[in-house]
Amino acid sequence: MVEGGIVLAKKSLDLAESSASFIEKIWQKINIGEPIATSVTYTYPKSQMKTTRTYRVPDTRRSLFRTKITLPAGNNFQIISIYDVDTGLDYADISVQREEGKVIFDPSKLPASCERLMITTLNDVEKTFLRELVDVRVSEVASREEPDKEKHWIVAVIKNEGLLKPFYKHATLEDIDVGVGINVDRQYSTILRSDNNPLIRLMRANQNIFTGIDQNKRSLEQVGKTQRRRILQEEKKSKEDIFAELAHLCLPELFKNYLTTDNPNLIYIDARRTENLMTFGNIIIPIPSRMTVTVFTTLRLEEPAQKGNLIFNRADFCNDATKIIKTHFKI
């Protein structure tokens, strides 16, 4: 088992290294001068890497400008810009051609006078490679030092600097996503058990009915219709509506109102429902039992770690849910 784990880890590292060396080989082919600045940006959601190299072009190299350079077009590789740094003009359109399976770079199309060139490339990278670069962690338990709030610590760090450092002076890992799970059903547990809750008061007031069902296993039909009507304001809204309204609170654009982070570098972006739905007894209700919140952050070689907290304002969520419940039931 341990051995398997090691093999797996090695495989993903190998993959990571081959992914990093792909672009390195391309740069070796381009080799039109001395690189004076190098940088790389990995964009996590798109699984892309953008590399930029600025070259000083010595006169001795200009003879090389006559030969076309053929580059592999795998991994969606493309040269997106070739700037003459001094004039600010982009020569990518005229000097780069894409043919089936290859990208052809023709340096003879570049102005003979240019001294500094900035070339930017873009290509897809394996998700495994991106995961190999960083480690993200989120607390399993949400803290409650303020009863109204639940707090998760979040940390994202560069794990394998070795994969970046030899090649680039500047590296940016952009929009690294960190998933945080928020328990929705736990909130409902609080709402339903609170002493002020209309439902609980109602259940206490109608204890006979409920305990009757529970203990004697009487069929539901035996409970009088009038009693049922008394409890539920049937004329007002149907039961489906209450669930739809409660589920509404978990729509990403609304759910995010309950979330904040305490570090401006941890940007909360998205909330997603998990597949699991809440169950009340045997009834499965289309309300997610858990939400997955995605926090994005950016790391740099010179800023290799980010830390902070995601805060869920549970009191606001519980208040809003209680309001919905109250409009559906007589108190």
CA 78/CA 75 separation, integer angstroms: 9
Question: Which lies closer to another protein via its Cβ, residue 3 or residue 221?
Answer: 221
Using an 8 Å Cβ cutoff, are 303 and 280 in contact?
no
228 lines the binding site for another protein (CB under 8 A):
yes
Lay out the site mask for another protein across 105-144 (x = CB under 8 A, - = otherwise). Answer: ------------------------------x-x-xxx-xx
Of 158, 295, 299, 318, the residue at the interface with another protein (CB under 8 A) is 158
Query: Given the structure tokens 């109250």, which residue do they identify?
Result: 326
Q: Which residues in 262-321 contact another protein (CB under 8 A)? A: 275-277, 279-286, 303-305, 307
Cβ contacts of 96 within 8 Å, gap of 6 or more = 79, 82, 103, 104, 105, 106
Question: Which lies closer to another protein via its Cβ, residue 87 or residue 279?
Answer: 279
Q: From the CB of 189, what's the least distance to another protein, in Å?
A: 4
Using an 8 Å Cβ cutoff, are 168 and 52 in contact?
no
Question: Which lies closer to another protein via its Cβ, residue 65 or residue 153?
Answer: 153
Query: Token pair of 146, please?
Result: 């303020």
Q: From the CB of 165, what's the least distance to another protein, in Å?
A: 7
Of 213, 268, 272, 315, the residue at the interface with another protein (CB under 8 A) is 213
Q: Give the H/E segment covering residue 200.
A: helix 198-205
8-state DSSP, 234:
T
Question: Which lies closer to another protein via its Cβ, residue 5 or residue 101?
Answer: 5
Question: Which lies closer to another protein via its Cβ, residue 61 or residue 300?
Answer: 300
Using an 8 Å Cβ cutoff, are 147 and 167 in contact?
no
Of 203, 272, 300, 313, the residue at the interface with another protein (CB under 8 A) is 203
8-state DSSP, 75:
G
Question: Which lies closer to another protein via its Cβ, residue 76 or residue 276?
Answer: 276
Question: Which lies closer to another protein via its Cβ, residue 92 or residue 231?
Answer: 231
Cβ contacts of 323 within 8 Å, gap of 6 or more = none
Q: From the CB of 176, what's the least distance to another protein, in Å?
A: 14
**Rg of the chain (C-alpha set):** 30
Q: From the CB of 67, what's the least distance to another protein, in Å?
A: 38
Question: Which lies closer to another protein via its Cβ, residue 107 or residue 288?
Answer: 288
Q: How many residues bind another protein (CB under 8 A)?
A: 57
CA 176/CA 170 separation, integer angstroms: 17
Query: Token pair of 115, please?
Result: 């001294």
**Which residue from 34, 24, 42 is spatially nearest to 64, judged by alpha carbons?**
34
Of 25, 165, 326, 330, the residue at the interface with another protein (CB under 8 A) is 165
Q: Within 13 Å of residue 151, how many CA atoms lie on the same side as its CB?
A: 14
Q: Which residues in 52-81 contact another protein (CB under 8 A)? A: none
The torsion angle over the Cα atoms of residues 160, 164, 169 and 171, rounded to 10 degrees, is: -80
Residue 98 pairs with which residues in a beta bridge? 103
Kindly list the residues in this chain that would bind another protein in the complex (CB under 8 A): 135, 137, 139-141, 143-145, 153, 155, 157-159, 161-162, 165, 183, 185-186, 188-190, 192-193, 199-200, 203, 209-210, 213-214, 219-221, 223, 228, 231-232, 234, 239-240, 243, 275-277, 279-286, 303-305, 307
